[in-house]
Structure 1
């Protein structure tokens, strides 16, 4: 029974991931949303809480990445803008495939979502730094 619940939870987390970003589904029950409000990510006690904190941390990193990306796009000439868009689409594919590979080492384990979201977060932070460098004036 416990393995079934863990697998269902893992499938739930993975089903929420999209190629561009992670969105909290609108059909989540209010009691679940209330639980998320009580979440203390500085002292997560259960694997479920750790997984949720990793997800939230990734969402925050992804939001910052998108902010930098949206700030950079209008500053580019059209030809460079198209190249950045193509690069970003390729990067998203790389990110997703790479993090799926990393998670696969923990297939079926309750820690798999944490591994996956931590990978997504780390990769998003690296990409954010790269894009921020393009915003810096040439010195």
Structure 2
């Protein structure tokens, strides 16, 4: 009976936090295991946490496109140009990450900082993807 009361008390506490839960009868819930992952509606993000998550997802999509363009371009180049592209891409990645850290630093400690960071990553990544796609069009 005591264990059942603990489970019910945990459920009430969690429901007051507006957190979806799943419990198994006769066990004490482990908060790390009972949170259900919900998809974020990026067309109508309502919280800063959701906005941050959407910014991250948007950047990840842009990064996938960048990697596809890079992987398409690389085999079309002769060895010396391939090495130059690899060096340029490594330097570009360092610039992108450092630049976006700088942009984010203005909001250190703020809840908007992740959104600023991922937005910066996405924007710079899209520009670089366009550059790589142009190289693909112009190289034989």
Which category describes the TM-score, using the shorter chain as reference length?
Answer: 0.7 to 0.9
1:29 is displaced (CA, Å) by 6.0
Unaligned runs of 5+ in 2: 1-31
What pairs up with 1:1-80 in 2 under 5 angstroms?
Answer: 31=35, 34-35=37-38, 38-80=39-81
Instruction: List aligned pairs for 1:43-122, cutoff 5 A.
Output: 43-122=44-123
Instruction: Spell out, residue by residue over 1:76-104, the C-alpha distance to the aligned partner (whole angstroms, 9 max, x if none).
Output: 00000000000000000000000000000
- Matching residue of 1:16: none
**Structure 1 consecutive aligned stretches of length 4 or more whose deviation exceeds 2 Å:** 28-32
Higher relative contact order (CA 8 A, sep 6+): 1
Q: CA–CA distance in 2 between the matches of 1:136 and 1:82?
A: 19
**CA separation of 1:48/1:134 partners in 2, compared to 1, >3 Å: closer, same or farther?**
same
TM-score between both structures, scaled by the size of structure 1: 0.74
Partner of 2:9: none
Mapped to 2, the partners of 1:75 and 1:30 lie a distance apart of 49
In the comparison of the two structures, how many residue pairs are matched? 108
Alpha-carbon distance between aligned partners in 1 of 2:138 and 2:109, rounded to the nearest angstrom: 47
Q: CA deviation at 1:51?
A: 0.2
How far does residue 31 in structure 1 lie from its aligned partner after superposition?
3.6
SS at match of 1:136: helix
| Residue matched to 2:124 | 123
- Alpha-carbon distance in structure 1 between the residues aligned to 2:40 and 2:48: 12
The CA RMSD over aligned residues, in Å, is 1.6
Structure 1 residues 51 and 30: CA distance shift in structure 2, 3 A: farther
Give the structure-2-normalised TM-score.
0.73
| Cα offset, 1:124, TM superposition | 0.3
